[in-house]
């Protein structure tokens, strides 16, 4: 029996906790460089040493948001591996969920909670006053993350 066909490996791959942990880890891994790249577009992120920490914390939050997308897909589509071979419906669920989460979180953080503010260099969504770059992040990275996770869980 090969190592990949062993019951321990199959059990790990089939575990919902392992799947969640893999999605979270991949989300943090891919979001951290994006957070670092967009940091100069936020007020107060001109200190390189401070930027490393704040961007890491932000990438942990991004990881939780990607987990939320995963859970929504699981609930709506009725299967935990909905992202492994996504249907058109899965892509629609993922797109709508990403857009709602991205816009909602950014709008609430900027306009309700005052958690962050943008520099003049941040392009804004007209009428909403939220950054285009963080919304693009939520639209671009999750499909990549889910594809990498699907490949890693099913080599």
The pLDDT value given to residue 12:
43
List pLDDT tens digits, range 128-147: 999 999 999 999 999 999 99
pLDDT band at 86 (very low <50, low <70, confident <90, very high): very high
SS3 call for 141: helix
- Distance, CA of 125 to CA of 110 (rounded, Å): 13
List pLDDT tens digits, range 93-112: 999 999 999 999 999 999 99
- Distance, CA of 109 to CA of 21 (rounded, Å): 26
What is this structure's pTM?
Answer: 0.87
Does residue 11 register a pLDDT over 80? no
Number of compact structural domains in the chain: 1
Q: What are phi and psi of 41, to 5 degrees?
A: -85, 0
Range of the domain at 56: 3-153
């Amino acid at each position: 029996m090969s190592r990949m066909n062993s019951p321990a490996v199959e059990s790990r791959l089939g575990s919902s906790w392992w799947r969640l942990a893999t999605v979270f880890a991949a989300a943090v891994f891919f979001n951290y460089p994006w957070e670092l790249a967009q940091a100069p577009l936020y007020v107060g992120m001109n200190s390189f040493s401070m930027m490393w920490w704040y961007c890491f914390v932000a990438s942990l939050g991004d990881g939780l948001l990607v987990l939320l997308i995963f859970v929504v897909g699981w609930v709506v589509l009725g299967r935990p591996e909905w992202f492994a071979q996504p249907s058109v419906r899965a892509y629609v669920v993922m797109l709508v969920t990403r857009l709602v989460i991205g816009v909602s979180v950014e709008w609430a953080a900027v306009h309700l909670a005052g958690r962050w503010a943008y520099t003049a260099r941040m392009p804004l969504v007209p009428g909403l006053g939220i950054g285009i770059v963080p919304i693009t992040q939520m639209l671009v990275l999750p499909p990549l993350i889910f594809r990498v996770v699907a490949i890693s869980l099913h080599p």
